[in-house]
Every structure is written in C-alpha cells, then in structure tokens.
A = this chain, B = another copy of it.
Amino acid sequence: MDKIDSDILRFLQQDNRITAAELGAAVGLSTSAANDRLRRLNASGAVLANRAIVAPAALGRTLLAFLFVDLEPRSDEAGFAAAMAAAPDVLEAHHITGPHNWLVKLRVADTAALQRFLASTLKPLAGVIRTETLIVLDTAKETSVLPTD
C-alpha cells in the first residue's frame, strides 16, 4: 500500500470501469504495470467488491429509515445479527455504544412496507424489547467513497 496504490484506489472508488491504460496514465504507470496493481489490489482484499450503485428510486425504494433496537440482556446477539444480514430491506446493522444496542439502516418502498418489516421481520425475533424509528426526510450525502489522504 504505497502512494500509487492509494491513488489507484481513489480512482477506482470514483469509477471502477476505468481501463488499465487510463489508470496508468493517471498515476504514472504503464498499462501493464497498472494492470498488475489492479489485480493485486483485488486479490489482496483491499477491494472488497465492484458494484453498480443503483438509484433507490429506480427500484421503488424511496423511504429511508434508521431503527434503534433494544435487546434483552443475555439475548442471542449473533442470532439477531444473522437475521439482519439475511433481511433484504436492511442495508446496515451495527452494534453500538449508548442507550440502545443496535442501529439498523433500511430502505423500503413506503411506510406500509416499514410497518410490515417491523411486524413481520423484527418483532418475531427473540430478545427484541423495543424499537425506535427515525425517518430520513432528506439526505445531504450518502457515499461509500473513503478518503485516501
């Protein structure tokens, strides 16, 4: 992970369909050297995945919400984590410090779908004491791009 690698990661985070030739020109490497770096970064695990970022509206997921979830003491945290990972509506689930146990980010179609998630997916889980729902009114920024410094 030298400076050239982090330069490459910066470009790939903006657009991973850049060609090895363009990338090489941008960071001062030959096409094949850039290609070597590309493969190494993908193989080493520094690049976790290559994804298209889809507009939520294009798939009808216009409602963004965060949930706080409180679990009973000594309840099955791993089971809860697995249930969140398996739920398609759930984009993120984090175990957090503070008054609540989990913070869950989800994208659904509308409030009816949110209600359905709470009633059908969350409420049946063992250990769930209570939840608190925060609705997102407006998003100023939402990205997966990490600074490369």
B95–A58 CB distance below 8 A = no
Binds B, one of A26-34, A43-51, A121-129: A43-51
Cβ-based interface call for A141 (8 A): yes
Decide yes or no: A50 and B47 within 8 Å by CB, A17-B16, A92-B143, A139-B94 being known contacts: no
| A59 and B95 in contact, given A16-B51, A53-B50 (Cβ under 8 angstroms) | no
Q: Is the CB of A15 within 8 A of B50?
A: yes
Whether, in the assembled complex, A147 has its beta carbon less than 8 Å from a beta carbon of chain B, the answer is yes
C-alpha spacing A59/B48, complex, angstroms: 12
Q: How many copies does the complex hold?
A: 2
The chain B residue with its CB closest to the CB of A139 is B94
Q: How many residues of A contact B (CB 8 A)?
A: 62
In the complex, the answer to whether A85 meets B47 with C-beta atoms within 8 Å is no
**Contact partners of A96 in chain B: CB under 8 A:** 66, 134-137
User: 9 A-B pairs, CB-CB below 8 angstroms?
Assistant: A48-B55, A50-B51, A50-B52, A91-B141, A91-B144, A91-B146, A95-B137, A97-B135, A107-B146
